[in-house]
A and B are shown apart, each in its own frame.
Chain A
Amino acid sequence: QSALTQPASVSGSPGQSITISCTGTSSDVGAYNYVSWYQQHPGKAPKVMIYEVSNRPSGVSNRFSGSKSDNTASLTISGLQAEDEADYYCSSYTRSTTWVFGGGTKLTVL
């Protein structure tokens, strides 16, 4: 049950786009389209931003989008805004009937 690999930090200026990668294996990210992304502000509970690789829950801005290629999933945030500054985590269902998270990425809006 190794954690998925995410960059520790990314940054961007308001209005720019950033992409956060999430690398797993053929036993998790590559096995199913059950990758999801979560936003967490300090002291708050996580909130789902993307599910099943590229679907946005109701109420989530269309500035957030997701994709996947082989064993790597990606979250892209376009038109960066100050309120996007947060920690972001990816997650995947695995062949072992478990779930695994990435280590998290701290997004800084410059």
Chain B
Amino acid sequence: QVQLVESGGGVVQPGGSLRLSCAASGFTFSNSGMHWVRQAPGKGLEWVSFIMYDGSEEHYADSVKGRFIISRDSPKNTLYLEVSSLRPEDTAVYYCVKGAFWGFVSWGQGTLVTVSS
């Protein structure tokens, strides 16, 4: 079955950077678009970014555009999210999600990013 395991979260100071990773298994990663979705503590879901199955297109929410970069390494079945110029409002659980045009097919368990001095 589909398995998505996120890693790389942690505590970082405002203005800092992290690289989140998502190890995918149980499906043909190279055939699937992938999303990152985040959820601030006690808040709702927020779509962050999407990358096409072949990496040919990337799309971002306005709130992260210019600060976050999504990428993928299909031979390694791994999705990445480089997060930089972090702000306290970026504090959230970041979910890796197997995608479709209609939305979000399968979710990982998430990795927590805390932006605090």
Chain B contact residues (Cβ within 8 angstroms of A): what range? 20 to 34
Interface of B is mostly: strand
Contacts of A1 in B (CB 8 A): 61-63
Interface of A is mostly: strand
Task: Count residues of A near B (Cβ-Cβ below 8 Å).
Answer: 26
A3 at the A/B interface (Cβ < 8 Å)?
yes
**How close is B4's CB to chain A, nearest CB, in angstroms?**
9
What mask results when residues 10 to 35 of chain A are scored 1 for a CB within 8 Å of chain B, else 0?
Answer: 00000000000000000000000111
The residue among A33, A46, A52 with the most chain B CB atoms within 10 A of its own CB is A46
Within 8 A of A (CB), among B60-117: 60-63, 95, 100-110
B26 at the A/B interface (Cβ < 8 Å)?
no
List the A residue with the shortest CB-CB distance to B57: A97
A109 at the A/B interface (Cβ < 8 Å)?
no
B47 at the A/B interface (Cβ < 8 Å)?
yes
Contacts of B37 in A (CB 8 A): 101
Q: Given A45-B110, A97-B59, A98-B61, is A51 in contact with B47 using a C-beta cutoff of 8 Å? A: no
Partner-B contacts on A (CB < 8 A) = 1, 3, 33-36, 38, 40, 45-48, 51-52, 89, 91-93, 97-104
* CB<8 Å pairs between A and B, sample of 15: A1-B61, A34-B103, A38-B45, A40-B45, A45-B107, A46-B95, A47-B107, A48-B106, A51-B102, A89-B44, A89-B45, A92-B103, A97-B57, A100-B47, A104-B45
Closest 4 CB pairs of A and B: A36-B103, A45-B107, A104-B44, A99-B47
